[in-house]
Chain A
């Protein structure tokens, strides 16, 4: 159990340092185009890598996950808000799993 607080401490310390050091130490702007570009692409690469294929295992069966993924991707493409995309994905998974249960 203490190990979990150790994990929490490491997480919190690293996250805070990342946020704090640039604010406190650097007042100058970054000039390297490569570094700026790299930092610009990081959130997209990171969130995409976290989302797929993990999303396929996020529900109790593969079919509901695939349909939920497609619904979320389409709604996101049409610029729906974060909450709406999330809730519709959840709703879709719920409905699909009810149908599967009903059929099977």
Chain B
């Protein structure tokens, strides 16, 4: 039974593996370009397993930001995992031991969350472990490949790959905003506000990690106050 669920998770995890490999390849490449070693880049990916958080974290490392800034940035950027963990907490099959939750938590990414919530009925932790068994190596080895390639690839390829992560972010946020005008305003508002922090004298002295925190909290709070969601929604 356990093996059956594990295999099902592995099968559903394969498309995730492909997407992860492409993005973590860029991460590894950028980390090495910034001066990190291959081992350091791969450790970050293996231990964190999060795209947005790692790219923001890399910015902070390269800018020699404080550990406080690092902790706060990760907290705000990854706050969405809290909501996902709440939801998955309801979805996990209660007949399995509680300590499985420590293991499931490690793999709680946007994509694994999505496939877990799409299952019918209660989900055994072995399903999530199966998805993790392909997604985690995909993310980690992608970083390794990118870190190694980053040392030999010509500049024009590296310049072109630099935009990859932003393409991925746009592919995540734009489609749901087509049918939801509040989301469209949240996206435009956040982009406008972060531009203000970049270009307006005075405001542009705030470091990039804090800008993301401030913009995210302000825009999400305003949207939540003005347009609260009616029923539970999943990404």
Partner-B contacts on A (CB < 8 A): 1, 4-8, 10-12, 14-16, 18-24, 26-27, 29-30, 33-55, 58-60, 64-65, 68-69, 72-73, 75-77, 79-91, 93-94, 97-98
Contacts and interface: CB of A to CB of B under 8 A. Distances in A.
Interface residues of B, number: 102
B14 interface: no
A24 B166 contact: no
B53 A77 contact: no
B76 A46 contact: yes
Interface stretch (B1-9, B132-140, B141-149, B168-176): B168-176
Interface string B45-86: 001111011111100110000010011001111111111111
B40 interface: yes
A45 B219 contact: yes
B117 interface: no
B95 interface: no
A98 B8 CA distance: 45
Contact of B224 (A4, A34, A98): A34
SS class, residues of chain A in contact with chain B:
helix
Contacts of A59: 159-160, 162-163
B194 to A, nearest CB: 4
Contacts of B195: 52-53
A10 B55 contact: no
Contact of B53 (A7, A11, A20, A58): A11
A41 B224 contact: yes
B157 A94 contact: yes
Nearest to A12: B47
Given A59-B162, A82-B172, A85-B168, 15 more contacts: A15-B53, A15-B81, A22-B82, A23-B102, A37-B228, A46-B52, A46-B76, A48-B187, A49-B190, A50-B56, A52-B191, A83-B22, A85-B170, A88-B167, A98-B156
Contact of A51 (B37, B157, B166, B232): B166
B89 A27 contact: yes
Contacts of A29: 86, 90
A25 to B, nearest CB: 9
Interface string B182-198: 11001111110111001
Given A26-B86, A72-B163, A77-B175, A52 B194 contact: yes
A7 B62 CA distance: 11
A37 B83 CA distance: 10
25 contacts: A8-B40, A8-B44, A14-B75, A20-B102, A34-B224, A36-B232, A41-B220, A42-B220, A44-B220, A45-B190, A46-B77, A48-B188, A49-B215, A53-B194, A54-B166, A55-B163, A72-B163, A72-B167, A72-B170, A89-B163, A90-B163, A93-B162, A93-B163, A94-B156, A98-B156
